[in-house]
């Protein structure tokens, strides 16, 4: 059986929850924050690794960045390409597994947003992705990763929860496993009277663990934040954001 993250029907069925209108609406603000946190200059080449339906790729292209989006899920890329065409935005959307994509010394910036990392059972795959990211970057380039920090999850973990997004009801049941290195969640979605159920899981990293892994993969300076505005990673952090530089940090 394929793992959940390689299951096309999962990405299709749960897309209305993952990319709900409220989340899509927040994209502009997220991009504002990323530009300011990384001090990006228009024209920079950006790789949106695991771009999904392209919400950040499209917004970055609208602002004059040269964007490449990579994702494994065909339906998302089809949607992203359609939107880009409608707005006459030139974005290179590539269907590829993040472990296999390779374009050395090509990007000023690599982004990996909204918990798109840590899916693989074998830890070596995570390291392979980060080593590749290091290779994709030009000297002086920067990588930003946005994920669920272990510390944040420990503070907020509820075991089970339910919520509604528009007319969709979501029930979640979570379990921390493997000595706090892995989380497993069962999701039930009730949409239009139909029940959809799936199990997802991923590796958990603390700020220190992910920071060390990035340094092992070649990154020189790694900064940790609690959200995209650059707040501290403390007891109020919402996300785990790491900004890692290839070579010296640009002024
Ligand atoms: C939670 S979504 C985030 C999408 C996008 N970054 C966003 O913020 O809207 C995770 C994305 O990772 C993609 N993905 C999962 N496994 C992948 C892999 N091995 N290689 C490339 N993309 C992958 C999925 O298709 C999905 O689009």
Give the C-alpha separation, 40 to 240, whole Å. 20
Q: Which residues line ligand 1 (CB under 6 A)?
A: 5, 11, 18-19, 50-52, 55, 71-73, 76, 97-98, 113-116, 119
pLDDT confidence of residue 250: 64
Three-class secondary structure of residue 169 per DSSP: strand
Q: What is the best residue among 25, 52, 112 to mutate for testing ligand 1's pocket, by most ligand atoms within 8 Å of CB?
A: 52
Give the C-alpha separation, 85 to 83, whole Å. 5
pLDDT averaged per 10 residues in sequence order, the chain, 251 residues: 95 96 97 98 96 98 98 98 98 97 96 98 97 97 98 96 94 97 97 96 98 97 97 98 88 60
% of the chain at pLDDT higher than 90: 96
pLDDT confidence of residue 230: 98
Q: Whose CA is nearest to atom 27 of ligand 1?
A: 52
Q: What is the pLDDT of residues 41-61, one digit of tens each?
A: 989 999 999 999 999 999 999
Q: What is the pLDDT of residues 88-111, one digit of tens each?
A: 999 999 999 999 999 999 999 999
Strands in 16-136 per DSSP E: 45-49, 66-71, 91-95, 107-112
Q: Whose CA is nearest to atom 9 of ligand 1?
A: 52
Three-class secondary structure of residue 132 per DSSP: helix
223-227: list long-range contacts, CB under 8 Å, 24+ apart: 225/37, 226/152, 227/33
Give the C-alpha separation, 191 to 246, whole Å. 45
pLDDT confidence of residue 203: 98
pLDDT confidence of residue 236: 97
Distance 240 CA to ligand 1 centre (A): 17
Parts of the chain belonging to CATH 3.40.50.150: 4-149+206-245
Are 45 and 57 in contact by the 8 Å Cβ rule? The answer is: no
Give the C-alpha separation, 147 to 149, whole Å. 6
Look up the pTM and report it.
0.97
* Vertex 112: Cα angle to 109 and 113 (nearest 5): 120
Q: Could you tell me which CATH class the domain 4-149+206-245 is placed in?
A: alpha beta
Distance 71 CA to ligand 1 centre (A): 6
Give the C-alpha separation, 141 to 5, whole Å. 28
């Amino acid at each position: 059986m394929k793992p959940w993250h390689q299951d096309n029907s999962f990405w299709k069925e749960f897309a209305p929850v993952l990319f709900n209108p409220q989340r899509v609406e927040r994209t502009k603000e997220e991009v504002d924050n990323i530009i300011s946190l990384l001090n990006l200059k228009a024209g920079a080449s950006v790789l949106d690794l695991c771009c999904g339906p392209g919400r950040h790729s499209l917004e970055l292209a609208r602002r004059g960045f040269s964007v490449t989006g990579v994702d494994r899920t065909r339906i998302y890329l089809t949607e992203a390409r359609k939107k880009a065409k409608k707005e006459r935005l030139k974005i290179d959307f590539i269907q590829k597994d993040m472990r296999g994509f390779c374009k050395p010394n090509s990007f000023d910036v690599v982004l990996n947003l909204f918990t798109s990392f840590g899916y693989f059972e074998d830890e070596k795959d995570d390291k392979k992705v980060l080593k590749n990211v290091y290779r994709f970057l030009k000297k002086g380039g920067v990588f930003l990763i946005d994920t669920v920090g272990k510390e944040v999850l420990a503070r907020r973990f509820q075991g089970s929860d339910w919520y509604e997004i528009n007319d969709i009801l979501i029930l979640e049941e979570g379990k921390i496993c493997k000595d706090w290195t892995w989380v497993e969640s069962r999701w039930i979605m009730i949409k239009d009277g139909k029940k959809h159920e799936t199990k997802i899981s991923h590796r958990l990293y603390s700020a220190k663990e992910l920071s060390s892994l990035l340094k092992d993969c070649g990154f020189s300076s790694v900064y940790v934040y609690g959200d995209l505005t650059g707040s501290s990673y403390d007891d109020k952090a919402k996300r785990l954001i790491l900004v890692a530089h290839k070579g010296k940090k640009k002024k």
